[in-house]
Amino acid sequence: MLTSLKKTLGIGICLLGIGAAADTEIRNFKSELSRLPEGKKSEDVFYKTAPALKLDSGEAGKQKSNNVAHGFYIFGEQARALRGKKIRFEAQIQRREGKAPLRGSFRISGNGNKNMTSKNAFLLSPAENKKWEKVSADFAIPELDGIENINFLLSMYPRGVEEDCWLVDDPVISMIEDNPVAEKWQKNIGIAAFDSAGTPLVLAGNGVKAKVVVGLKANAVARFAAKEIVDHIQAATGEVLEITTDDTGNGPAIHVGNTKLTRSYGIDPEQMAPENWVIARVGSAVMISGGEKPDAAESEILSRANIPLGTLSAAYEFLERVAGVRWYWPGKLGTVVPRQKTIRIGHLYETGTPSYNTRMFFYDTSSDPSISNREMRLWFRRIRSGGSVGDPIANHTFMDWPERFGKNHPEYFALLSDGSRKNYRNAHGVHLCLSHPGVVAQAVRDAVAWFKANPSAKFYAIMPGDSNNLYYCRCERCQKSASPEKDSSGVHSNAVWSFVNQVAAEVAKEVPGKRIKCASYADYQARPDFPILSNVAVTLCYPTTPHSRIYNRKHYLRHVKEWHSSGAAELYLWDYWDKPRYSRGVYGAPSFFPREIKEWLTLDGGVIKGRVIELSGIDSNGKKVDAWGDWLYDVQNVYVVNRLMWNRNEDVEKILNEFYPAFYGPAAEPVRQFYTEMERAWSCSPASDKPAEWDWEACWKKTYPPEFVDKMMGLLRSAVAVSQGKEPYHSRALKTLEGFLPFEANSRMFRGQKAPAPQTIRVPSVSAPPVADGNPDEEVWKKAARIADFVDSYNSYEQKARTEMRFLHDKNNLYVSVKAEWPPERKEILFADNAHPRDALLWNYEGVELFFAGGDSERYQFILSPDSKMADFHWLEKDPKTPGIQWNSPQTRAATKRIANGWTGEIAIPLADLKFKNPAGNGTFRVNFFRNHYPKEGNQVRWEQSCWMPTFGSFHDVGKYGIMHLE
């Protein structure tokens, strides 16, 4: 009887034989049949009472060319009231003449919107003529806005060879279910998942294509998630699933986000806790949903924004758990999608919520041109980077204050040692007089105004510029609030956090519930002596190097504990992962490994709410790339840490055991051995209760000695060899080997390396000294002691800058001339153009440094940069932690002059200023001389440092200095 059943928009149709009685009659059209025009009315043949509807082509041979049709309409409010309901059309039909089938079609029409029309069609062709039969068809009315009418159209296309005639009687439309999806008796998800577990559900493959259902008003998150599901299931099975808004619950379906099905189980992304997610099977459907920002735009999804994307995360959970998908690296090469004939599930009911509410990365755009920015952002989303609370991480602020208040309120800015106000912004940011009441009041006004303009934001940063200790305000009030008795990590804690508390207290009055954020950083890293207010969020900046050393772990725990009891609302962590790679001498040395990551997170689990992980902003040559340098060093770590920040209970061994075979195939074993041996070498260090040394000797001689590096690189080379011809494993092994080549190259530079024996400079005395005008052309310089041929500070890295210094003295001064040059192909050099002429941190720019030490580590440092900029320091400890910049040698005269491809300079230092508690001898200093050269290459800056006596590390290592005698 039923010859054809066609679905266009997937609205389910059942014809004939449905026994269930309709629940509620919506419209009975019988009474309307008597108003039909004569040609459409059958008075002699009808079902029970006259008349019936007649669809007649007319006599044979005179058939109309057009179809003969009649529609049964429900209009306006009555139609709109049926949104989301399931209705049934029923009628008695009888074929009187001919063979033309009767077509039924169902439509929804709305005002001017093409999407409003929904159609279904079927054909009826009964075996016998002149016999009444009952037909019925069911339809779900979608939740469309602006519905104008719902109609059921019956039509017949005359065949043109004979008379065709159909009769239709007792047409009725009824509601059959209030909710077409849920069963009459609701189940909870757990029972639904349990009851359906016994029957495997095929979602894709072998010709099965589950529909991927999104809500009619699906947000960007659900649409993006649906697309990700479709793309990955296609890659796994070859089946292309259709994304639809058809929510009738027929056949296998994957419901994404907010659909009628998920709502019928109480799952609504707008109601769920942020990032809380669920994936569950109920009958023949899977629900994938999670708490999210409802109006997130696709551009936000592909960004660093910390917005809850619960449904998208649930989709990735689904793809990982059900389809075995893994995103180990960014891009296609890094994606593992196991090929499967079918994707099938039994029982499925998983939920979760992230262990950390903030999972961010700094320097997270790769400097590798083979990876696009989009691929990188997508990868971070796929491994669940992001968060739910906005941006709780503090960073340096007040950047626009010099522009706003620099002229009219110079008193708002830090007083410098030369008496000027730092009412300008430099590379270190902006530094204020934090004790000034006007500064507090203005910071409060700014915070309140910002919160009012950004009502959904929760955090507002107030944090001094970088190098706070050096630029700390020297006014009387600020100096009183400093705590010189505390060590370098706490000297300005009380001052900075008192300012933060004052601002937070006022902001709480006007915008309660919001947070003021600041970092515990540098000279205000230690907890202050008083409690932190409860509307302050603190970002702990804790530069541990290396993380794994026991001293560092204990110290870190103490630090976290100290702040945990501070009263602050929340603690976050700026996690400097790659700090071990930031120093010359250890460039290119891998640091941090998966098992250590788990241990590191265990230390602060539950106390730290979120972290931003700083990846390496310089590459293995020491080049500043301000992007993710040597991403291959970290990519496995980033994958692992994201899994652990998402769920810190995960077993690292399980992650790794999946990773090697899935990702490297035939090369799995050598790569596994490489990473395991590397982590073993890295994590095993001599027990010590002191901060661990991480310098070129600890690195290249003790941790990764040459024979070890050779063995490790051998493993990667064999991984490449055994995977030859087997893609994508070979490409991955090759990329891994290439990624770690800098490890081998840096190791080679330090093989057999030894510091040269210290040399001596004998400085002649002159009676007619030169004039320090920057141009060392006086005849007297010809008599000077001369040093040149500066070497790289490790006597290892290539350096192209040339430096010459000459020395003279008289009874008052030491005179130094400088000639600093670079190759002509270096067109752009980083000069200290915007730096203050006196006591700026000139080591960050083109310049030379002069060190004079006594018998111990007490030393004076002078830095000379074009254009006649100078900084002088006096250091007492081995490490430059004391605020040595406060020392000044006011009588020192210095000047420079630019020349082609370089500059010259002269400096006259009063010998009376080079006083030592423990002098090296009468007229004798321990000395060293350095050159900082920063050529720009595009947007990137390279730091090329060279020196007279290589120090193999910090310039402050006086043990490696040479000797200067004044004759």
Beta-bridge partners for 339:
none
The CA distance from 526 to 920, in Å, is 36
Query: Nearest distance from residue 675's CB to Zn ion, in Å?
Result: 52
Neighbours of 858 (CB within 10 A): 19
Q: Give the binding-site size for Zn ion (rule: CB under 5 A).
A: 5
Q: Which two tokens stand for residue 725?
A: 């011809």
| Shortest Å, Cβ 433 to Zn ion | 3
Q: Is 780 in the site for Zn ion (CB under 5 A)?
A: no
How many Cβ atoms are within 10 Å of 544's Cβ, its own excluded?
21
Contact characters 420-439, Zn ion, x per CB under 5 A? -------------x-x----
Q: Which stretch binds Zn ion (CB under 5 A): 224-232, 370-378, 466-474, 793-801?
A: 466-474
Stretch that binds Zn ion, among 55-63, 285-293, 477-485, 571-579 (CB under 5 A): 477-485
181 or 430, CB closer to Zn ion? Answer: 430
What's the min distance (Å) between Cβ of 475 and Zn ion? 3
734 φ/ψ sector (left φ>0, alpha ψ -120 to 50, else beta): alpha
Shortest Å, Cβ 507 to Zn ion: 22
Beta partners for residue 213, in sequence order: 244, 255
- The two three-digit tokens of residue 653, written as one number: 């061994």
Examine residue 522 and tell whether it contacts Zn ion (CB under 5 A).
no
The length of the chain is: 967
- Using the rule CB under 5 A, is 716 a contact of Zn ion? no
Examine residue 478 and tell whether it contacts Zn ion (CB under 5 A). yes
Residue type, 101: P
Regarding 416 and contact with Zn ion (CB under 5 A), the answer is no
Does 475 engage in binding with Zn ion (CB under 5 A)? Answer: yes
Residue 763: helix, strand or coil by DSSP? Answer: strand
Q: How far is the CB of 414 from Zn ion (least distance, A)?
A: 7
Nearer to Zn ion, 473 or 805 (CB): 473
- 147 — phi, psi (to 5°)? -65, 130
Quick one: 405 or 862, whose CB is closer to Zn ion? 405
Q: What are φ and ψ of residue 641, in 5° steps?
A: -70, -35
The least CB distance from residue 421 to Zn ion, in Å, is 10
Cα separation, 272 vs 954, whole angstroms: 53
> For residues 168 and 495, which CB has a smaller minimum distance to Zn ion in the complex?
495
We find the least distance from the C-beta atom of residue 470 to Zn ion, in angstroms, to be 15
Helix (H, G, I), strand (E, B) or coil at 453: helix
* Cβ neighbour number for residue 304 with a 10 Å cutoff: 19
Task: Find the shortest distance in angstroms from Cβ 438 to Zn ion.
Answer: 11
**Cβ proximity of 542 and 556 under 8 Å:** yes
Task: Return the residues of window 886-905 that contact Zn ion according to CB under 5 A.
Answer: none
Judged by beta carbon, residue 333 or residue 475, the one nearer Zn ion is 475
Nearer to Zn ion, 168 or 478 (CB): 478
State the CB neighbour count (10 A cutoff) for residue 66: 9
Query: 280 or 478: whose CB is closer to Zn ion?
Result: 478
By the rule CB under 5 A, 473 interacts with Zn ion: yes
Nearest-approach distance from CB 477 to Zn ion, in angstroms: 5
Close Cβ partners of 751 (under 8 Å, ≥ 6 residues apart): 700, 706
Give CA–CA dist 204/193, Å, rounded. Answer: 19
Question: Which of 179, 481 has the CB closer to Zn ion?
Answer: 481
Q: Which stretch binds Zn ion (CB under 5 A): 25-33, 324-332, 469-477, 615-623?
A: 469-477
740 close to 715: Cβ distance less than 8 angstroms? no
* Torsions phi, psi for 323 (to 5 deg): -105, 0
- The span from the CA of 430 to the CA of 460, in Å, is 17
Which CB, 167 or 478, lies closer to Zn ion? 478
Stretch near Zn ion under the rule CB under 5 A, chosen from 132-140, 471-479, 686-694, 721-729: 471-479
Three-class SS of residue 864? strand
CB of 649 to Zn ion, least distance (A): 49
Q: Which is nearer to Zn ion, 340 or 479 (CB)?
A: 479
The contacts of residue 335 (CB under 8 Å, 6+ apart) are 325, 326, 327, 328, 329
Piece of 420-428, 468-476, 700-708, 943-951 that binds Zn ion (CB under 5 A)? 468-476
Q: What spatial distance separates the first Cα and last Cα of the chain, rounded to whole Å?
A: 120
DSSP three-state, residue 713? helix
Measured from the CB atom, the residue of 219 and 435 that comes closer to Zn ion is 435
Beta carbon nearer to Zn ion, 112 or 437: 437
Tokens 């699906």 belong to residue: 218
Tokens of residue 620, six digits: 């293995």
Site string for Zn ion, 532-571 (x = CB under 5 A): ----------------------------------------
Residue ranges in contact with Zn ion by CB under 5 A:
433, 435, 473, 475, 478
